[in-house]
């Protein structure tokens, strides 16, 4: 009998294609699935008993920012511990390469470093020389960011050895900032546009799978559709993909009027597909329409249907439009448990939680803050953009016990005061109060999108371990999705809500993103495919909710295999780093 390096025995095999599940065994040789048997036992050097467990292709996270932090956290613990074996990185226009003269904008995990180098009260509105930031990163993390070009980054990351496979995109914001420098609030000159196209071409030649945009962030927010089309034409030459954080909110700074007509951002993405022929991935989809007051379920369903109609009509034209969604009611790469973070600009000036609480005793100081907030200057607490902000901040720890478990809105009613006054009052009584942001959308909205054939889960997170935190304001922690978003996807939308069958839930997290991003022999469990495998318990897979700690690994993941090597076994990272940095092999290059 043939002997395999590794055998997964007796599990329920769901191959990722949408085909029915069956019981069987999987034999792995090297980094390849060599055999799948329904009835016969396989002989292996190492045997994994998968009785009563599901054996599936490793999950592919369709929307990540892993590229930014894989250099620091190459074991990618948060991804592999939830069964993710491949990350699609470089999204939202913000990538860690190329870094030539200027440090890329909108990294987020580096905010405390930027603040140390160039303090600001409200928003970081500028650029820093790359060498200055690299020096600080080396000082803090001991990692030397040596690369400049996109190719140099991919080569460097290859040499770093990572635990997860990585699919790189190149970011429009990074390229635009590199070419235009701090003078980015305008159209590029013809010469600058040609230089941007040159950098996109260099990245595609190096193996980028496509271009991403972040059209609510600087400097991409200042770009016009024609500029993006010119860059996407280069991507199309290489049969790459265009992944877009579409125009939804506009620049997340001062806003003195409500956000309307978000659907125009999706319409723009479709128009780019129409005018270039490029494949388009719409990032972290949400409603294309704003509804006030907060809508009942039937209006949400109607808004989802109206949003999807734009995509369905485009697909009926023959355009290749797909999309991902964050499988949670909340999203974002980071979160903060410190309620005082709601008043971050004034916390920076005060210098400490206690000093701010003391300053809030001054009536005129509170009125100054109120005036700025009600004018929409501070996006972090903008009642113009989100008039229901107080409904979505829930106290989870406070010295005043009667407030614990209540939202700011509920506290305001209890204490018979204005909502902003209630926020001030809580912070004055306990400046170290902890709070969680509740979801602005419902699971029913997420579910309505997930039912679409071409929707897939994307967590919108970085690569981290379970210890990273930002020591100073804004005291960021990784968002809970960082550690359990994919597990929540299965818990909530398969097991609890029954929105998706287990077979379909797995297809959306495996073969669908593999097909969309052109990952041959990935995302399926078939003989000849690469051995990226997850073994999990469908009855227990779950995120771990902890109101005071976001960094909790999920339950129910028994074993994770990347390129034939066991990376997670019995809920523990083995230390293996067999991941590969994928490079696009274009179908049309040189033709």
- What gap in Å lies between CA 456 and CA 523, rounded to an integer? 13
What are the tokens at 275?
């005018």
Each residue's pLDDT tens digit, 74-109: 999 999 999 999 999 999 999 999 999 999 888 888
What are the residues whose beta carbons fall under 8 Å from the beta carbon of 510, sequence distance 6 or more?
16, 56, 57, 58, 59, 60, 523, 524
- What gap in Å lies between CA 329 and CA 218, rounded to an integer? 26
Domains of the chain, each with CATH number or no CATH = 60-334+443-520 (3.20.20.140), 339-432 (no CATH)
Name the nearest CA neighbour of 211 among 193, 229, 189: 229
- The β-bridge partners of 334 are 478
Q: Where does 498-585 have alpha helices with state H? A: 502-508, 511-517
Let me know if 67 is exposed, middle or buried by CB neighbors in 10 A (0-12, 13-18, 19+).
Answer: buried
pLDDT digits (tens), the chain, 591 positions? 799 999 999 999 999 999 999 999 999 999 999 999 998 889 999 999 999 999 999 999 999 999 999 999 999 999 999 999 999 999 999 999 999 999 988 888 888 898 999 999 999 888 999 999 999 999 999 999 999 999 999 999 999 999 999 999 999 999 999 999 999 999 999 999 999 999 999 999 999 999 999 999 999 999 999 999 999 999 999 999 999 999 998 888 887 677 778 999 999 999 999 999 999 999 999 999 988 888 888 999 999 999 999 999 999 999 999 999 999 999 989 999 999 999 999 999 999 999 999 999 999 999 999 999 999 999 989 888 889 999 999 999 999 999 999 999 999 999 999 999 999 999 999 999 999 999 889 999 999 999 999 999 999 999 999 999 998 889 999 999 999 999 999 999 999 999 999 999 999 999 999 999 999 999 999 999 999 999 999 999 999 999 999 999 999 999 999 999 999 999 999 999 999 999 998 544 332
Residue 522, phi-psi category: left (phi > 0), alpha (psi -120 to 50), beta (remainder): beta
CA distances (Å), 501 to each of 451, 463, 491, 560, in order? 10, 29, 12, 22
Each residue's pLDDT tens digit, 494-524: 999 999 999 999 999 999 999 999 999 999 9
């Amino acid at each position: 009998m043939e002997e395999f390096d590794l055998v997964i025995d007796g599990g329920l095999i769901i191959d990722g294609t949408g085909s029915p599940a069956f019981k069987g065994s999987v034999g792995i040789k090297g980094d390849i699935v060599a055999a799948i048997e329904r009835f016969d036992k396989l002989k292996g050097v190492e045997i994994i008993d998968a009785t009563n467990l599901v054996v599936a292709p490793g999950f592919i996270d369709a929307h990540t920012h892993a590229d930014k932090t894989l250099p620091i956290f190459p074991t990618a613990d948060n991804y592999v511990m939830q069964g993710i074996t491949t990350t699609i990185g470089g999204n939202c226009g913000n990538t860690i390469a190329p870094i030539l003269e200027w440090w890329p904008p909108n990294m987020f995990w580096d905010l405390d470093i930027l603040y140390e180098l160039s303090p600001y009260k409200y928003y970081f509105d500028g650029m820093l020389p790359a060498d200055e930031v690299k020096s600080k990163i080396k000082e803090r993390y001991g990692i030397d960011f040596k690369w400049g070009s996109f190719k140099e980054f991919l080569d460097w990351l290859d040499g770093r050895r990572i635990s997860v496979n990585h699919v790189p995109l190149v970011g429009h914001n990074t390229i635009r900032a590199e070419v235009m420098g701090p003078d980015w609030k305008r159209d590029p000159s013809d010469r600058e546009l040609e230089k941007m196209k040159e950098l996109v071409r260099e990245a595609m030649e190096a193996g980028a799978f496509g271009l991403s945009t972040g059209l609510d962030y600087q400097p991409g927010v200042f770009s016009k559709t024609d500029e993006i089309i010119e860059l996407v034409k280069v991507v199309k030459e290489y049969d790459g993909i265009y992944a877009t954080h579409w125009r939804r909110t506009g620049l997340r700074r001062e806003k003195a009027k409500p956000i309307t007509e978000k659907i125009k951002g999706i319409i723009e993405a479709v128009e780019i597909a129409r005018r270039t022929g490029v494949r388009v991935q719409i990032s972290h989809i949400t409603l294309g329409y704003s509804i006030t007051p907060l809508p009942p379920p039937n209006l949400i369903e109607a808004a989802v249907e109206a949003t999807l109609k734009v995509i369905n009509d485009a697909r009926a034209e023959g355009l290749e439009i797909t999309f991902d969604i964050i499988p949670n009611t909340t999203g974002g790469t980071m979160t903060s448990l410190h309620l005082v973070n709601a008043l971050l600009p004034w916390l920076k000036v005060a210098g400490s939680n206690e000093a701010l609480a003391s300053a809030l005793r001054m009536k005129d100081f509170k009125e100054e803050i109120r005036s700025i907030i009600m004018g929409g200057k501070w996006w972090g607490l903008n009642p113009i953009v989100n008039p229901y902000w107080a409904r979505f901040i829930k106290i989870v720890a406070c010295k005043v016990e009667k407030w614990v478990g209540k939202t700011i809105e509920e506290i305001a009613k209890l204490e018979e005061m204005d909502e902003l006054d209630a926020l001030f009052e809580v912070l004055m009584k306990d400046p170290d109060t902890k709070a969680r942001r509740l979801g602005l959308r419902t699971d029913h909205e997420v579910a309505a999108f997930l039912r679409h054939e071409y929707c897939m889960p994307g967590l919108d997170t970085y690569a981290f371990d379970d210890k990273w935190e930002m020591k100073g304001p804004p005291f960021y922690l990784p968002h809970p999705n960082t550690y359990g978003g994919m597990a929540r996807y299965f818990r909530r939308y398969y097991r609890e809500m029954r929105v998706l069958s287990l077979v379909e839930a797995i297809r959306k997290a495996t073969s669908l993103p593999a097909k969309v991003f052109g990952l041959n022999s990935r995302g399926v469990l078939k003989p000849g495919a690469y051995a990226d495998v997850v073994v999990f318990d469908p009855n227990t897979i779950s995120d771990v909710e902890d109101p005071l700690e976001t960094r909790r690994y999920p339950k129910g993941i028994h074993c994770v295999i990347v390129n034939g090597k066991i990376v997670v076994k019995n809920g523990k990272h083995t230390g293996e780093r067999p991941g590969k940095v994928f490079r696009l092999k274009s179908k049309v290059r040189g033709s």
